[in-house]
């Protein structure tokens, strides 16, 4: 694979998950279950098992190999603890050169600018080595933290989609935002 993210920022290390990350990914999922639940699809019990984490990692690496998506883990600088995750999903090439962005940060790591720091690096990689032209990110109208984060990153509102994603078991309306590759 010649197109994998290996990024460093002041407070993070960012890369695709590897098979050995399964126990730490499971810990992240369990510790942040209540924190992330209002903003994500319903998760069944299997989601909180080592086997599911191992399969998700294998699926993620296969998606990256096929240039379909890049699920990234954001570690502390020592590479021990997952602080956040983000995914460049649904990559479409051709005339579109676009993807969707999803993200979340550990409850205890919120409010320190870490997600912003990680996504700045992730977006530079997406618009640089990955060669994308457009990244789309959509959020619940009630998710003000997410709206503020996207605005700070330079995403612009493009629309409002009714009953767009099934979040926590309900088809929810979403704000549609996007950022295109900075010119020059
Ligand atoms: C949405 C979410 C990722 C935002 O995380 P966050 O930590 O607030 O985002 P940032 O990294 O941009 O941090 C910004 C916050 O840190 C504060 N901050 C502190 N030090 C900072 C620094 N050095 N740089 C920037 N911001 C800093 C800012 O004031 C800001 O606080 P505010 O949002 O209360 O105004 C997080 O709340 C989350 O994971 N939520 C659950 C999952 C979710 O909603 N995912 C997105 C679905 S669309």
The pLDDT of residue 157 is above 50:
yes
pLDDT tens, position by position, 1-58: 457 889 999 999 999 999 999 999 999 999 999 999 999 999 999 999 999 999 999 9
Strand locations in the chain, DSSP E? Answer: 6-8, 13-16, 70-75, 82-92, 98-105, 134-139, 156-167, 170-180
The pLDDT of residue 171 is above 60:
yes
- Residue in 112, 138, 151 to alter for ligand 1 test, most ligand atoms within 8 A of Cβ: 112
Say which DSSP state 71 is in.
E
Tell me how far the alpha carbon of residue 108 lies from the centroid of ligand 1, in angstroms.
11
* CB of 113 sitting under 6 A from ligand 1: yes
Tell me how far the alpha carbon of residue 83 lies from the centroid of ligand 1, in angstroms.
12
The predicted model gives 130-135 an average pLDDT of 97
User: Is the separation of the CB atoms in 135 and 153 below 8 Å?
Assistant: no
pLDDT tens, position by position, 75-87: 999 999 999 999 9
The pLDDT value recorded for residue 184 is 66
Identify the residue whose C-alpha is closest to ligand 1 atom 26.
Answer: 113
Sketch out the chain's domains with CATH numbers.
6-135 (3.40.630.30)
């Amino acid at each position: 694979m010649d197109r994998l993210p290996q990024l460093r920022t002041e407070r993070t290390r960012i890369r695709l998950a590897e098979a050995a990350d399964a126990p730490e990914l499971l810990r992240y999922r369990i510790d942040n279950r209540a924190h992330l639940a209002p903003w994500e699809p319903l998760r069944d019990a299997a989601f909180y098992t080592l086997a599911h984490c191992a399969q998700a990692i294998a699926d993620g690496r296969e998606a990256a190999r096929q240039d379909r998506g890049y699920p990234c883990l954001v570690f502390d600088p020592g590479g021990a603890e997952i602080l956040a995750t983000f995914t460049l999903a649904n990559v479409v090439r051709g005339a579109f050169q676009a993807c969707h962005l999803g993200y979340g940060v550990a409850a205890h790591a919120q409010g320190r600018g870490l997600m912003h720091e990680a996504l700045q690096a992730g977006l530079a990689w997406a618009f640089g080595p990955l060669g994308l032209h457009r990244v789309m990110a959509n959020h619940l109208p009630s998710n003000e933290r997410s709206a503020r984060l996207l605005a700070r990153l330079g995403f612009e509102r493009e629309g409002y989609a009714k009953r767009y994603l099934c979040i926590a078991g309900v088809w929810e309306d979403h704000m549609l935002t996007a950022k295109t590759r900075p010119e020059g």
